[in-house]
């Protein structure tokens, strides 16, 4: 009976979710008839039950205590900010009333169309709150079981190393020690700046056996407010600190960045021989001009602003000359599309574009480039 009360209370808390999707017509059965469990694989290949998950986890969902060889609908929902995402699948229970691990193991980063996360679609706005994965088991119109699993940061599985680096930073290593065969990964933000992205991604890597350092290079205490004349020597100082630690004296350094951070990762790797690899998501092949907080709130081009300085010299860059293009979304709102902005800037600044090309051929290691 307690499980029933818990389910009803959970449904009440999520009434806004259901209202947004028009699902209040579904009948909740008088007693839960399915047992929902979440598992994560151990390094030895076995499965360990868990009540939480973290970004990038490989997870297995098992549902038992169902009627044998009967059709069920499984619904998975996860909130990001104020948006709710959902995927649904039809399964037939086994002769023992169980489902197989569904969908046979899945990951937040999977790209399979049968994966419960990858196949999620945006189904509407919800009140902003902590992110979770909600699993609902239905038989026709009846909701027979619901369970929610919160996302956590996995800080309990890592240790933080206090550094003497002047730049705002977070340095994490696995609690049982980093794998000596793995590189030290340095992560940083894109055009939003700050430390948040670097910290979150360093936690992600540390949870998976890497020593991981997150850095803020602008928009944080102790560094430039805007992405203007950022001295790249701060990265050299950070790498020197990492290398000063005996356990990382010979460790390869890999840089990880997205968007403007991906651009910066490629640039730094072409300048610093200590860097032995790059992870760059949606990077640019050239260095673009600096940015202020007004860059993405105005259609008017800003004056030329050098983004980076290295060894006292400004890094060549391309000035923005284009403007946003308005695109009407399905809900009637207007989105500002940046592609024409970049294309126009490339066309009108051909010479600067060539000079600002990042010499990736100088990078002393492998590149992982991701676009979308």
Give the CATH number, domain containing residue 279.
3.40.50.1820
Domain boundary pick from 150, 177, 193: 150
Torsion, Cα 113 115 116 122, to 10 degrees, reads -30
pLDDT in tens, 313-329: 999 999 988 777 788 88
Q: Are residues 161 and 310 in the same domain?
A: yes
Which CATH number characterizes residue 136's domain? Answer: 2.60.40
Instruction: Give me the domain span that covers residue 240.
Output: 155-317+356-370
In angstroms, rounded to a whole number, what is the distance separating the alpha carbons of residues 278 and 256? Answer: 6
268 vs 310: CA distance, rounded Å: 10
Q: Assess whether the previous peptide bond of 103 is cis (omega < 30° from 0).
A: yes
Asked if residue 251 and residue 191 are part of one domain, the reply reads yes
Of the candidates 7, 50, 178, 38, the one whose C-alpha atom is nearest the C-alpha of residue 116 is: 38
CA distance 11 to 244: 53
Q: Which residues of the chain have pLDDT under 50?
A: 1-26, 102-111
Query: What is the model's pLDDT at position 25?
Result: 41
The answer to whether 288 touches 317, Cβ cutoff 8 Å, is yes
| pLDDT on residue 92 | 86
Q: What is the pLDDT of residue 7?
A: 30
Total tally of structural domains belonging to the chain: 2
Q: C-alpha distances in angstroms, 99 versus 60, 73, 139, 216, 273?
A: 11, 11, 14, 45, 52
- What pLDDT is recorded for position 108? 44
Residues 6 or more apart in contact with residue 10 via CB below 8 angstroms:
146, 148
Q: Is residue 345 part of a domain?
A: no
Give the single-character DSSP code of 302.
P
Q: CB of 64 within 8 A of CB of 37?
A: yes
Please check whether residue 249 lies inside any domain of the structure.
yes
- Please, are residues 72 and 93 in contact by the beta-carbon 8 Å criterion? yes
Please indicate, yes or no, if residue 337 is contained in any of the structural domains.
no
Q: 92 pairs with which residues across the strands?
A: 71
CA distance 352 to 334: 32
In a domain, residue 89? The reply is yes
- 334 lies in a domain? no
pLDDT at position 326: 81
Q: Which of 106, 96, 93 is nearest to 61 (CA)?
A: 106
**pLDDT score at 55:** 73
Looking at the structure, tell me whether residues 116 and 179 fall in a common domain: no
Q: What integer pLDDT is reported at residue 335 of this predicted model? A: 81
DSSP state letter for 233? H
> What is this structure's pTM?
0.72
210: buried, middle or exposed (CB in 10 Å: 19+, 13-18, 0-12)? Answer: buried
CA distances from 148 to 11, 79, 156 (A): 11, 12, 21
Neighbour tally for 142: CB within 10 Å: 14
In the prediction, which pLDDT does 14 show? 30
- Contacts of residue 338, defined as CB under 8 A and 6 or more positions apart, other chains included, come to 324
pLDDT at 337: 81
């Amino acid at each position: 009976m307690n499980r029933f009360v818990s389910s009803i209370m959970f449904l009440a808390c999520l009434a806004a979710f259901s209202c947004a999707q028009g699902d209040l017509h579904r009948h909740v059965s008088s007693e839960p008839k399915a047992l929902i469990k979440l598992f994560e694989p151990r390094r030895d290949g076995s499965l360990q039950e868990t009540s939480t998950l973290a970004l990038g986890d490989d997870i297995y969902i098992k549902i038992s205590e169902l009627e044998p060889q009967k059709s069920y609908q499984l619904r998975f929902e996860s909130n990001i900010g104020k948006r709710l995402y959902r995927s649904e699948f039809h399964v037939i229970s086994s002769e023992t009333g169980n489902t197989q691990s569904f969908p046979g193991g899945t990951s937040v980063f999977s790209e399979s169309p049968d994966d419960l996360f990858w196949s999620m679609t945006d189904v509407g706005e919800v009140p902003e709150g902590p992110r979770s994965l909600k699993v609902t088991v239905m038989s026709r119109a009846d909701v027979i079981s619901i369970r929610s699993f919160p996302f956590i940061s996995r800080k309990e599985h890592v240790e933080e190393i206090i550094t003497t680096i002047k730049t705002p930073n977070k340095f994490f290593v696995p609690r049982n020690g980093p794998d000596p065969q793995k590189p030290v990964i340095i992560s940083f933000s894109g055009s939003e700046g700050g430390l948040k992205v670097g910290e979150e991604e360093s936690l992600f890597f540390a949870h998976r056996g890497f020593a991981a350092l997150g850095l803020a290079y602008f928009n944080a205490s102790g560094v430039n407010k805007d992405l203007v004349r950022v001295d790249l020597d701060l990265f050299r100082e950070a790498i020197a600190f990492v290398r000063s630690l005996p356990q990382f004296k010979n460790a390869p350094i890999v840089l990880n960045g997205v968007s403007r951070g991906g651009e910066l990762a490629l640039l730094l790797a072409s300048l610093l021989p200590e860097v032995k690899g790059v992870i760059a998501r949606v990077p640019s092949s050239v260095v673009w001009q600096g940015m202020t907080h007004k860059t993405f709130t105005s259609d008017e081009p800003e004056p030329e602003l050098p983004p980076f300085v290295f060894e006292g010299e400004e890094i060549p860059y391309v000035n923005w000359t284009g403007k946003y293009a308005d695109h009407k979304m399905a809900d009637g709102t207007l989105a500002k599309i940046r592609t024409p902005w970049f294309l126009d800037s490339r066309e009108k600044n051909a010479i600067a574009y060539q000079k600002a090309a990042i010499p990736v051929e100088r990078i002393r290691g492998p590149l992982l480039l991701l676009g979308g």
